[in-house]
Amino acid sequence: MELDQLAEGDPELEKQVAQEGVAIADELRRRELDLLFTDPYASHNAVVTISVGQGGVEAQDWVEMLLRMYLKWAERRGFETEIIDESRGEEAGLKSVTLIVRGPRAYGLLRSEHGVHRLVRISPFDQNHRRHTSFALVEVMPELESTDEAGIVINPNDLRIDTYRSTGAGGQHVNKTDTAVRIRHIPSGIVVNCQNERSQIQNREVAMKLLKARLFEREQKKREEEAARLKGENVQADFGTQIRSVTIHPYNIVKDHRTNYETGDTEGYLAGNVDPFIHAYLQAMAGGVATGV
């Protein structure tokens, strides 16, 4: 306030004070955010899988829209991204896609996105221009580097490993040899795929990381459900209602149903401006407000 008064009437000094004010505010927000990372795996890279839900071709397009949104969000933050596996829809969009997001606290930030996401819009695939509702499931897990990290131990005898010819990225090389890898964890029934690396060895290493992440998520979910049961809370066996809705027709709004944070800037949100929702979730979790996760 005193600096503002001193700078009054001096355009150059006012500009400098304003810039310093923005920098101070940004630093305060960063420090406030630091206090919200209580998860022991918050500093890890994130493994993100987006899968199609109800809605047919429309939902497959929604999966691809979400992928673009998170890629743009990561680019804004200077994070690296790598698409590990994808299954394209017959007509349009994606049935599923898995990517690794590498950057400071990638998992700590993106864990807020774990859940069902809903889209309401006039379908570009409907000749009658009717409004459609589609769903996609976003799963976020920490990337684990070693087999004993987080207590996840994998018995090689519990694995069935198959190789097949890749149809993903990587050029002609991947299409001529069986470089893609599929690993089935027999006790849990979990299946992971990796086809986007150039060699079978690389694909196998990445697939093992994906399997560790899925087993970690499975154990985390068991512990959360048991803790909720002991507290007498209503435990859902699976993802219930959506955590966030994007409505483009008949009005524009993005709303998080756990924190009630919302914005009318659907275009900016889909262009990667997800941080306000992430921050609202982290603050709500720190205050014990967010539910349904």
DSSP string, 108-167: HHHGGG-EEEEEEEE-TT-TT--EEEEEEEEEEEE---STTGGG----GGGEEEEEE---
Task: Tell me the pLDDT band of 292, cut-offs 50, 70 and 90.
Answer: very low
The answer to whether position 40 is within a domain reads no
Q: What tokens does 104 get?
A: 């400071």
Q: What is the pLDDT of residues 120-172, one digit of tens each?
A: 998 887 777 788 899 999 999 999 875 445 677 889 999 999 988 776 544 44
**How far does Cα 139 stand from its chain's mean position?**
6
Decide: 204 and 85 in contact? Cβ < 8 Å. no
Number of structural domains (the chain) is 3
> Quick check: is 41 in a domain?
no
| pTM of the predicted model as reported, rounded to 2 decimal places | 0.77
Q: Does residue 242 sit within a domain?
A: no
Same domain, 222 and 89: no
**CATH code of residue 207:** 3.30.160.20
Identify residue 227 by its one-letter amino acid code: A
pLDDT single digits (tens) 209-243: 899 999 988 888 887 777 666 656 543 433 457 89
Strand order, beta sheet including 159-164 = 159-164, 180-185, 190-194
Indicate if 86 and 137 belong to the same structural domain: yes
Residue 127's domain comprises 46-143+254-286
Whole-Å CA distances, 82 to 125, 196, 254: 29, 9, 27
238 within domain boundaries: no
* Amino acid at the residue 277: F
Residue with tokens 């944070």: 261
pLDDT of residue 237: 33
The pair of structure tokens assigned to 18 is 């304003």
Among the listed residues 213, 64, 77, 235, the one whose alpha carbon sits nearest the alpha carbon of residue 150: 213
pLDDT in tens, 78-117: 999 999 989 988 888 899 999 999 999 999 999 999 999 9
CB-based contacts of 259: which residues, under 8 Å, 6+ apart? 277, 280, 281, 283, 284, 289, 290
Q: For residue 243, tell me if it sits in a domain.
A: no
DSSP 222-265: HHHHHHHHHHT----SS--S-SEEEE-SSS-EEEETTT--EES-
Is residue 246 assigned to a domain? Answer: no
List Cβ neighbours of 80 (8 Å cut-off, separation of 6 or more).
Answer: 74, 101, 102, 103
Q: What is the pLDDT of residue 72?
A: 97
Distance CA 16, CA 207 (A): 51
CATH of the domain at 125: 3.30.70.1660
Identity at 111, one-letter amino acid code: R
